[in-house]
Structure 1
């Protein structure tokens, strides 16, 4: 009989993620196959040979559940391969088995493996956020399929309707189910282009649109009230409020763009950066309100402008994500303290700036330029004739009362 177990191989570099490996033992022969999945040492339970899941509130929970699900699917596949090999031959060749297992991972018409390949590709070209959304969708679809992979020519309209119904039963909104469907549809179309399946149009009867949602914005009076709070005795809340205000002052800059701002992005009274989401180059006039926030915090010795990422150690993205979760949680406490009946988050700054500007009769085209909406064809016509100085003038007008 062949023994198959999952093992954890820690990294030789302290603080880095280690690898999960498949260990096969047949007689006195041992072979190990390194998986693509990496976790930290404290996330592995060596006694039971599986991932030690944290609490639901942990920022790593969903990621680890995704890995656990994918590992189980691959473990089941490896066990089936071993059983088939044991039936076909008297003496099992572990080298051949390991090679076949590894080559099967690259099978192009496997839906799970194809999407995993796209996730890796997104990471390689620097689209980390896209790779994360692809991973989230794959995790969802894997759960729906109970870990059983399929080929693209097995995908039809009935299967997609069942997947949509399953997601709704899990409590997802129409926009959330549509988000996953659109990602799955993108991968399906790419598989069709590569000749892996004829187009059976499996998404015809499922929702892939975007429902209008209530925009989250605050009037200027509430923005001013948040800005005026005395939070000197609560440093964490003070920092969260300052990051909220910095985003508002910079026309609703997204938190990821704030986190990756470099000190070198500030030159000659202008802050220049590229939006992570669209790659568009943005230029913002540097104002007193922005400088006051920067002056409040000591330089952290990194190349970053704001103290969101405080260590340049290869874990910058995790630092940004942890800070974002913490700040959004603290902003809800600030909302409670100010009596705001809403779940305040960094998302509010962008819509608040746009709504306030619109309320002051600022042309829609100027607002679009201020927000960097160059991908919106309905506003692109106006953008070519708008200068950055006009947007800066609008921003100064909005910030005057702070």
Structure 2
């Protein structure tokens, strides 16, 4: 069974703005009754909180909705089932895949719900008829033997490929820690053998006790010349660092695919594989689903179930085979004992 030593807390990030500033931020939306205006303001607020990925999703979804609407202003009174249902049908006609459609709808729904919380509109549930779930994902995990292949693959010391190999393993060792959180990880976030970070996507606070395999990798890249644990980023400015991260993320995944082939792994590697692999192996080792969900930083356990649902039958079959083997072995032992007595 996997040995896990983690502590989880949820931290909701609050705006540092004064009540007067927050009121001023909402004024333009109140006056105009404009969903479009509020959405743009929410994108700006989300970026200020350094949630760049979420802000990007919001911006992409808003551009898509506005394009459907003829680039005309969308008011809160427009935001009803009729508009959203028609938008969903338009996306389908354009050949947008189900998960992308769902991502757009979830982003727009999140913005709309925040407007409801601010009292800018009443809750009319305009998204109740459209798909906002997550489809079954293709299996992205690799096997235990593949992890060992990566550990043993020959890489040039000090090369970027060695860094990629080590960080992929670190992501796996750290309970499927997302690559973005590893890239932004600072030395100040490690104290007394405990790594602490907020997931950039969900803001969930996670603490992980460092194991020797994790410390070995951290020590390999230890440097007094930078604040980051790993040498991906250089800038201390959040926006500049995020642009650095985006470039390194692309290169990281490119090198991972090359590394996987060199290691003799049949499945294409990506940053997500370490995360899915940890979830899969934890599930196969009978770690409770809520623990896996918390370790992955999922706020909804349904997302975790999607990660592991493809191996549900495999686990059931494995458990049944193990049980039958134990029963049949015991039966054989009894028969052998009886034969000896005869």
Give the structure-1-normalised TM-score. 0.60
Change (3 A) 1:186 1:313: closer
Change (3 A) 1:378 1:341: closer
- 1:343 alignment partner in structure 2: 268
Q: Offset of 1:196 from its aligned partner?
A: 5.0
CA offsets 1:34-58 (integer angstroms, 9 cap, x no match): xxxxxxxxxxxxxxxxxxxxxxxxx
Change (3 A) 1:242 1:108: farther
1:302, 1:311 within 8 Å by CA — same for their partners in 2? no
- 1:144 alignment partner in structure 2: 68
Runs (5+) with no aligned partner, structure 2: 1-26, 305-342
Q: Offset of 1:277 from its aligned partner?
A: 3.4
> Is 1:178 aligned to 2:98, yes or no?
no
1:109, 1:151 within 8 Å by CA — same for their partners in 2? yes
- 1:359 alignment partner in structure 2: 284
Higher relative contact order, structure no. (Cα contacts within 8 Å, ≥ 6 residues apart):
2
1:175, 1:210 within 8 Å by CA — same for their partners in 2? yes
Match of 1:160 among 73, 81, 84: 84
2:115, 2:121 within 8 Å by CA — same for their partners in 1? yes
1:249, 1:290 within 8 Å by CA — same for their partners in 2? yes
- 1:113 alignment partner in structure 2: 37
Aligned residues: 277
- 1:208 alignment partner in structure 2: 132
- 1:295 alignment partner in structure 2: 219
CA separation in 2, counterparts of 1:237 and 1:299? 19
CA separation in 1, counterparts of 2:107 and 2:297? 24
CA RMSD, 1 decimal:
3.2
CA separation in 2, counterparts of 1:104 and 1:375? 33
> Is 1:276 aligned to 2:200, yes or no?
yes
Change (3 A) 1:159 1:341: farther
Task: Describe how 1:378-397 pairs up with structure 2 within 5 A.
Answer: none
> Is 1:330 aligned to 2:330, yes or no?
no
Match of 2:145 among 221, 236, 243: 221
Q: Offset of 1:317 from its aligned partner?
A: 1.4
Q: Offset of 1:109 from its aligned partner?
A: 2.0
Q: Offset of 1:236 from its aligned partner?
A: 2.8
- Which structure features the higher share of helix residues? 2
